[in-house]
């Protein structure tokens, strides 16, 4: 059988039907919007904004957010059509299987591991760093010892102490994985509380910080093109068009939440109407907040601040230094960051388990990944395996893994989703579509172009890492998946 054999649409729609062995449908449109906001507002807003301003675009990072949002909106329209037409867990993997065949479906499924598993571990490590900030600056307790919140490959530049294990990162991944096993509805409820808290704090920063904006920090708004070398000696295109594209690729990490929404299609009560609302609604809310937040943050402090003093804790330090009298807000931000990181990890772990669930149902991964708990109706074994993998990564790998790899993996997935809409319109013209992407093929083609431009802006080092990751995936596919594919056996 051809490597590009497609999964029949009739099989996909049959899987979407209710069955005693299937996933439990508990999510509504509102909970999907909250789920998306939970993933979107987190590491991207509080960390990647400052990184993109320092390395790529300066004040024009807001334009980078607009470019990233345009790419997400174009891809989001395509996601909305596909998720309402094919309401199956698996996100871009499922859509690619139906339109472009098994090999490309495997490629995108493996690629999504970068987005979810690696992303969850990376955010877990950042969560550990901010926990110490909370303990010392907010609660005025003693910090966790360096050895117990860093990997064995890290050494303190101050004391020379070696790390042993990152216990807080392992702990948060464990707690959230067990919450997901208990049930998606319970996870969505906890996520909803977190979302309300951190969105309120983000709005506070925008309103209160607006009066402290220094116009000099926004001049020039688009810096002249140059090359900036960071502390690791890596060069970045700074200023001009390439700087804005680079910033768009960097902050794109902040927009991946609405993609995770589509992985929960099989657990949604009315996916044909709820999925488009969840995807586009969460994207719209967060885009507005992101642009306003980036404008305020870059107006509070000069670019050099983000390169030296601020770094990862830029938001908190900027408030403490440039907003006198609002130190309490900096403490609230620390709480919001921890809450935000928690909800990001939660949604990423949810997305990863559902992608593996779909790939296992198709025989491309072992059956253990699709075993559903008899009581909770969740893929609990997949959650436990992912807990071990992500937990080991979070506990023993250094925290300097950049979000750029997550961004490039997601952008690649978006390109295939946009292409899938065009193909499916041709091959399945009579497929019921509750939501239709407007102006096909113009919108999908524009989505492909914008996402490809952001990949271009991320630079050749990230292209090489993506190719290396895909090479490992091909070894697994030809070693296991080809022999066990249910489509091939059929």
State the 10-residue block means of pLDDT for the chain, 490 residues long.
77 61 71 77 76 90 93 87 72 81 89 82 84 85 88 80 91 91 68 78 93 95 87 76 90 74 71 79 88 95 84 78 91 82 83 87 91 84 91 78 70 89 90 84 96 87 85 93 86
ω into residue 220 within 30 of 0, thus cis? Answer: yes
CATH no. of 86-485: 1.20.1740.10
Residue 20: the pLDDT is 41
Helix pair 442-457, 240-251: axis angle to 10 deg:
100
State the pTM of this model.
Answer: 0.79
Per domain, the residue ranges of the chain are 86-485
Q: Do the beta carbons of residue 114 and residue 411 sit within 8 Å?
A: no
Q: Do the beta carbons of residue 104 and residue 96 sit within 8 Å?
A: yes
Q: Do the beta carbons of residue 453 and residue 245 sit within 8 Å?
A: yes
Half-sphere CA count of 332, side-chain side, radius 13 A: 14
With the C-alpha atoms ordered 46, 47, 53, 57, is the resulting torsion angle positive or negative? negative
């Amino acid at each position: 059988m051809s490597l590009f054999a497609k999964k029949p649409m009739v099989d996909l729609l049959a899987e979407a039907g209710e069955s005693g062995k299937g996933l439990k449908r508990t999510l509504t449109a509102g909970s999907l919007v909250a789920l998306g906001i939970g993933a979107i507002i987190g590491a991207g807003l509080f960390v990647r904004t400052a990184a993109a301003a320092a390395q790529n675009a300066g004040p024009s990072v807001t334009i980078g957010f607009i470019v990233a949002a345009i790419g997400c909106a174009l891809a989001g329209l395509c996601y909305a059509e596909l998720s309402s037409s094919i309401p199956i867990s698996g996100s871009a993997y499922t859509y690619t299987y139906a339109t472009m065949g098994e090999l490309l479906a495997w490629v995108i499924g493996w690629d999504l591991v970068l987005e979810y598993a690696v992303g969850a571990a990376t955010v877990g490590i950042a969560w550990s760093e901010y926990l110490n900030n909370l303990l010392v600056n907010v609660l005025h307790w003693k910090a966790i010892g360096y050895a117990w919140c860093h990997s064995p490959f890290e050494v303190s530049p101050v004391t020379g102490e070696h790390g042993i294990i990152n216990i807080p990162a392992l702990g948060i991944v464990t707690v959230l994985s067990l919450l997901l096993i208990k049930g998606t509805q319970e996870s969505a409820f906890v996520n909803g509380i977190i979302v309300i808290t951190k969105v309120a704090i983000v709005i506070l920063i925008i309103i209160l910080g607006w009066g402290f904006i220094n116009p000099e920090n926004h001049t020039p708004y688009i810096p002249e093109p140059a090359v900036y070398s960071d502390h690791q000696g890596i060069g970045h295109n700074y200023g001009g068009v390439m700087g804005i594209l680079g910033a768009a690729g960097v902050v794109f990490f902040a927009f991946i939440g609405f993609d995770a929404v589509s992985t929960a299609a099989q657990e949604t009560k009315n996916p044909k109407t709820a999925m488009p609302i969840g995807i586009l609604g969460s994207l719209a809310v967060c885009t507005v907040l992101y642009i306003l937040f980036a404008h305020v943050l870059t107006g509070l402090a000069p670019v050099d601040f983000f390169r030296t003093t601020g770094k990862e804790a830029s938001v908190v330090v900027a408030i403490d230094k440039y907003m006198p009298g609002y130190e309490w807000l900096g403490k609230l931000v620390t709480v919001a960051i921890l809450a935000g990181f928690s909800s990001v990890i939660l949604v990423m772990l949810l997305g990863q388990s559902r992608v593996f669930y779909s790939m296992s149902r198709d025989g491309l991964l072992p059956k253990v990944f699709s075993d559903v708990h008899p009581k909770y109706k969740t893929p609990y074994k997949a959650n436990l395996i992912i807990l071990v993998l992500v937990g080991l990564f979070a506990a023993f790998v250094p925290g300097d893994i950049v979000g750029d790899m997550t961004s490039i993996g997601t952008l690649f997935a978006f390109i295939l989703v946009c292409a899938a809409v065009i193909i499916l319109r041709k091959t399945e013209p009579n497929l019921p579509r509750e939501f239709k992407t407007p102006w096909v093929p113009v919108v999908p083609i524009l989505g492909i172009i914008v996402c490809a431009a952001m990949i271009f802006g991320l630079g050749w080092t990230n292209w090489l890492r993506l190719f290396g990751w895909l090479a490992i995936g091909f070894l697994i596919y030809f070693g296991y998946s080809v022999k066990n594919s249910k489509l091939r056996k059929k």
